[in-house]
């Protein structure tokens, strides 16, 4: 599994890199995205820290903007987990309020707190700046939802199962408190779902190369 993990890093590190201000340049509307974070490395490559997709139709760019731009942690589990890490690291009591999902009308009526909202908005701004300053990503097109979800979980599981796929000791995600449903620290990525899925098959890896415009691992170096 370690060799397959290295293959994935070599492949995705060879691709066109995007940032928050180039999302509109993505030339397709459905696909899978792979995030990298400053300071995180795997062998000689930037380490993958998140794998995700759009579950609707033609929502890829809007999903990326939800992560990077929308100051609402209840619309992006990526943002929510970054906030959890920051608050837990600082032992900030805002964490309890941050964990609430206020998109639920009943929750909003019951728990909304104007003073805590100001603190939440300040943290949302910090998260936006953190994402802008530290995150970049690559994307590749996958048209059907079924195939997107399968390749997404397969990539996640392949990375997770690789023993040498490790976060740095200073990685912010290490501060996300583990729960029954939250496995960010264990996953070594900003995600929890998909880690127990079936890993990439040889056929799926070959499909990834073709989707990403590469014949096989040996041809990656010729791209540059």
Q: What is the pLDDT of residues 25-35, one digit of tens each?
A: 999 999 999 99
What pLDDT is attached to residue 165?
98
What CA–CA distance (Å, rounded) separates 12 from 60? 18
Task: Give the pLDDT mean for 102-122.
Answer: 92
1 pLDDT more than 70 = no
What pLDDT is attached to residue 223?
47
Find out whether 168 and 49 touch, Cβ atoms under 8 Å: no
Q: What is the pLDDT of residues 169-197, one digit of tens each?
A: 999 999 999 999 999 999 999 999 999 99
What number of other Cβ atoms are within 10 A of residue 59's Cβ? 14
**Which residues contact residue 42 at a Cβ distance below 8 angstroms, ignoring those fewer than 6 apart?**
5, 6, 9, 48, 164, 165
Task: Give the pLDDT mean for 67-93.
Answer: 97
pLDDT class for 121, splitting at 50, 70, 90? very high
In the chain, which ranges are continuous DSSP H helix?
A: 2-13, 60-68, 77-89, 94-98, 105-111, 114-134, 145-160, 184-187, 202-211
Classify residue 178 by its DSSP letter.
P
| pLDDT above 70 coverage of the chain, percent | 95
Q: What is the mean pLDDT of the chain?
A: 95
Domain that holds residue 51: 2-223
- In three-state secondary structure terms, 45 is strand
155 pLDDT more than 80 = yes
Find out whether 162 and 4 touch, Cβ atoms under 8 Å: yes
The domain tally of the chain equals 1
Q: Would you say the C-alpha torsion 42, 150, 74, 140 has a positive or negative sign?
A: positive
């Amino acid at each position: 599994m370690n060799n397959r993990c290295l293959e994935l890093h070599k492949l995705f590190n060879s691709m066109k890199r995007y940032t928050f201000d180039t999302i509109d340049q993505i030339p397709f509307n459905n696909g899978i995205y792979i995030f990298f974070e400053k300071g995180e490395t795997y062998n000689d490559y930037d380490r993958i820290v998140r794998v995700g997709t759009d579950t609707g139709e033609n929502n890829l760019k809007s999903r990326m903007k939800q992560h990077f731009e929308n100051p609402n942690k209840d619309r992006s589990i990526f943002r929510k987990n970054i906030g959890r890490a920051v608050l837990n690291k600082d032992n900030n009591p805002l964490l309890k309020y941050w964990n609430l999902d206020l998109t639920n009308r009943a929750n909003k009526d019951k728990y909304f707190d104007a003073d805590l909202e100001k603190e939440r908005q300040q943290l949302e701004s910090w998260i936006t700046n953190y994402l802008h300053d530290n995150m970049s990503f690559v994307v590749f097109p996958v048209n059907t939802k079924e195939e997107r979800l399968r390749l997404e979980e397969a990539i996640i599981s392949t990375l997770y199962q690789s023993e040498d796929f490790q976060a740095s000791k200073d990685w912010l995600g290490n501060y996300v408190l583990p729960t029954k449903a939250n496995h960010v620290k264990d996953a070594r990525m900003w995600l929890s779902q998909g880690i127990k899925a079936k890993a990439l098959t040889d056929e799926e890896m070959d499909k990834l190369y073709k989707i990403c415009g590469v014949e096989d691992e040996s041809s990656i170096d010729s791209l540059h």
